[in-house]
Amino acid sequence: MFKGILIDKVDGKISAQVTQIDEASLPEGDVTVAVEYSTLNYKDALAINHGAPVVRSFPMVPGIDLVGQVTESSSTDFPVGSRVLLNGWGVGEGRWGGLAQTARVKSEWLVPLPDSIDARNAMAIGTAGYTAMLCVMGLERQGVKPEDGEILVTGAAGGVGSVAIALLAKLGYTVVALTGRPEERDYLIGLGATDILDRKEMSEPGRPLARERWAGVIDVVGSHVLANACASTQYGGTVTACGLAGGMDFPSSVAPFILRGVKLIGIDSVMAPRALRIEAWQRLADDLDLTKLGDISKEISLDDAIAASAQILAGKLRGRVLVKLS
């Protein structure tokens, strides 16, 4: 038996509780992991509080992240004792995830834990930080350099935004943070932002083209914020889109793309190939100031996770929320 969060659906009603789970209930997989830390992301919060559309089968252990040590394995890549982490691949949605003390997964989903990152810091980074790194790499691959101008980071006080600011600042970029939480100004400046914008400035319908400002954008919001970001990106600049916190719609025009050569790059962290994941995690080990993670992250127990998930949906928690399981 092991402890975890179990989401179930009975008579059409969703329930989530911390409970003891029989190891015999674990799904098939060639690697079993003793989970040390997981995280609470926006997607996890949706799963715990609403089930569908995130959860695709019941019962379900949520948690799109995990880090821990291999205890059973038939994989030559990850023998017993290996330190591993997992992000995405549909765990916590269609396959049991990381918010439990034990997980059984497919070895091809795993990434070796970099030597310079411990378990706690790995989950302080988590899917949000790994996604932020993919966004930064997306800007770099399109040739965006620090000397080209300002980089806009939207949803700045959230997990992706927080890590993106810290990464970009360390790499020498000038970062402007867009947030709906002006009370987080000192926090964002501490991560490396040079200026703070109120989300209201970009959350309403705008013109097809606005004054050129951004050399690059990392957007987690979507909808009007993404449209306005594209409209105000410099000639030849790049916008990376990785989230839809403000909506799945994109009320824009082709003007930024055909008149300014703006590039809109989609960032998918869930199904990204393993080689790209390994590269991103090695870049995080090299380029992220791990001392910033204390400001970015908050640690809670598994027993507190359900209540914390409601706070995430209400926009009351900033940065990264990691859940200690060991």
**Whether residue 102 sits in one domain with residue 133:** no
**Residues 6+ away with beta carbon under 8 Å from 85:** 65, 66, 67, 110, 111, 112, 113, 122, 123, 281
Check whether residue 11 and residue 78 sit in a common domain: yes
Residue 175 contacts residue 165 (beta carbons within 8 Å) = yes
Q: What is the pLDDT of residue 96?
A: 97
Q: Which domain holds residue 314?
A: 2-113+292-324
Determine the 3-state secondary structure of 271 from DSSP: coil
Report percent pLDDT > 90 for the chain. Answer: 90
Q: In whole angstroms, give the CA distance from residue 277 to residue 188.
A: 27
What one-character DSSP code corresponds to residue 114?
A: P
Q: Give the pair of three-digit tokens for residue 228.
A: 């306005």
The answer to whether residue 53 sits within a structural domain is yes
Q: Per DSSP, what are the bridge partners of residue 83?
A: 69
| CATH at 58 | 3.90.180.10
- Do the domain assignments include residue 118? no
Residue 118 CA to residue 114 CA, distance in Å, equals 8
How many domains does the chain divide into? 2
pLDDT digits (tens, 9 = 90+) for 192-231: 999 999 999 999 999 999 999 999 999 999 999 999 999 9
**pLDDT at residue 319, rounded to an integer:** 83
What are the tens digits of pLDDT across the range 109-133?
999 999 999 999 999 999 999 999 9
